[in-house]
Amino acid sequence: MTDSEGSDSISRADVQHVANLARLALSAEEEERFQHQLSAVFEHFQKLSALDTEQIPPTAQVIPLKNVMRPDTVEPSLAEQDVLANAPDREGDQFRVRAILDF
């Protein structure tokens, strides 16, 4: 993490960066609050670094399964009214959303 402020291991800039990636508009008060909270979470996980994992291969999956595949066959899709049932807004048979052209 970059330029830590005070005792927090996560900087205000980190919070702003992550908020921006998630498209969250945070107030200055929220940024400060989340900076403390995220720092606490981060430090808690930092404790794991104390363990010696030199001899342990990286793990991507904790469930002991592999090669789970299905045959390439088509099954019926959802009915159109069900597809659009939860749409925040619709126009004809399409979902209508606010424009996000610039990000």
Contact 5, 11 (CB under 8 A): yes
Contact present, 15 and 35 (Cβ < 8 Å): yes
Cβ proximity to another protein: between 7 and 68 the closer is: 68
**CA–CA gap between residue 25 and residue 13 (Å, rounded):** 14
Using rule CB under 8 A, residue 3 touches another protein: no
Q: How far apart are CA 36 and CA 15, in angstroms?
A: 10
* Rounded-to-integer distance, Cα 1 and Cα 39, Å: 10
The only residue of 6, 28, 56, 66 in contact with another protein, by rule CB under 8 A = 66
> Least separation, in Å, of the C-beta of 68 and another protein?
5
Among 2, 22, 25, 54, binds another protein (CB under 8 A): 22
Does residue number 56 form part of the binding site for another protein (CB under 8 A)?
Answer: no
Tell me the C-alpha distance between 11 and 4, whole Å. Answer: 5
> CB of residue 11 vs another protein: minimum separation in angstroms?
15
Using CB under 8 A, list all residues that contact another protein.
Answer: 17, 20-23, 60-61, 63, 65-75, 77-78, 80, 83-84, 86, 91-103
